[in-house]
Structure formats: structure tokens, C-alpha cells
Copies of this chain bind each other. A is one copy, B any other.
Amino acid sequence: MAPSGVQKERIEPQDVFLLDGEDLSACRVVRSPADLALKVSECQPLFYNAFRDRDAGAVIHSHSPWAGLVTRLVSPSGAAATFECEGWEMQKGLRGKGCFDRVRIPIIANTPREAQLTDSMQQAMQAHPDVDAVLVAGHGVYVWGRDWVQAKTQAECLDYLFRVTVQSAAFPSGAQP
């Protein structure tokens, strides 16, 4: 897992934390970087939600502008809500979804500190067992998969869906997402 507060392009391999993959209730770091100034990302318990409850092998957290914008489009107040889309081929990149399914991704309200999202993320996951992502209002998205390949595919397909939903919202005829 990446360290907290380090610009992504400046992270070196030796700056990465190794997490405990055996005891998933412990949320434990098993190897820390030599640089003691580095702290593990505050996303740690959120990632363990996916490791533990969904048997995820990899989790991606993104602050993509399209993810942030789509939460603002759906929930201008930042309250919990649901992103929905339908009719896009890229939905096929999501586990178990076809292009004619209606995709529903939960949006949870943001909290002052990232770790405070742990419970509401877990509840949203339980309420939406058919999707591998949780949006956070004004913040971004957590996406996971059985391995990094599936996590990356799902992250890329979701970002496409967020983007086209945001961009089609500006259509004069008001095409529905």
C-alpha cells in the first residue's frame, strides 16, 4: 500500500507498505519502509473492507475528476445517493454486467478523515453486492477486483462511464444517463 501524502510519481518501490494478507481482520502492516517519516495511507481499513468482505486481491482508489464530478452531478449536496447508468458497452468490463443492465454504484457521504468512511463503505458494499466499487461524494472512487488486472479494467471502465455521464449531462436534449 502506498504511503500517505506522497506525490504519486515520487513514490519509490521501497516506500510501499506490505499489508498482512492472512489475518484480514487485523488491518496490519507487516513491513514498513526504512524511511520512518512515511505513514501508511489512511485508506488502509477501506482497502481491508474489500480484501475481507469481497476476497479482493487489489484495490484502486482514484480522485479522478470524472468520479468527483459525477457525484456532484447526482448529489449536489454531497448526501448519500446512487450513480446509475445504462446502455453503455463499457459496462461489460464490470463483473457480471451486460450493456443493457442498469449499473448502480453507491455514493457515500464524505467524512473529515478517510478512515471514518470505513463503516459506511462496508454498509454500501453490503447493499450493492453486485458491483465492485463505492463512490465518495466530492472525493473519488474505490474499485477492487480479484487481482490487479480486474481492478484496473473495472477502474478504467467506470471512469469511462463517469465521464460520458458527466459529458452527456450537458446535452441540450437532456439525454438520460
Contacts and interface: CB of A to CB of B under 8 A. Distances in A.
Contacts of A173: 73, 76
Contacts of A73: 168, 171, 173, 175
A38 interface: no
Size category of the A interface is 35 or more
Query: Which of A149, A163, A171 counts the most B-chain CB atoms under 10 A from its CB?
Result: A171
A149 B7 contact: yes
A106 B172 CA distance: 22
Contacts of A136: 89
Contacts of A32: none
A89 to B, nearest CB: 4
Contacts of A166: 167
A173 B81 CA distance: 16
A72 B110 contact: no
Given A110-B87, A112-B98, A72 B174 contact: no
Contacts of A69: 164, 167-168
Interface in A133-177: 136-140, 149, 152-153, 160, 163-164, 166-176
Contacts of A139: 88-89, 99
Interface of A: 7, 63, 65, 68-69, 72-73, 76, 78, 87-90, 98-100, 110, 112, 136-140, 149, 152-153, 160, 163-164, 166-176
6 contacts: A68-B164, A69-B167, A72-B168, A87-B137, A100-B112, A166-B167
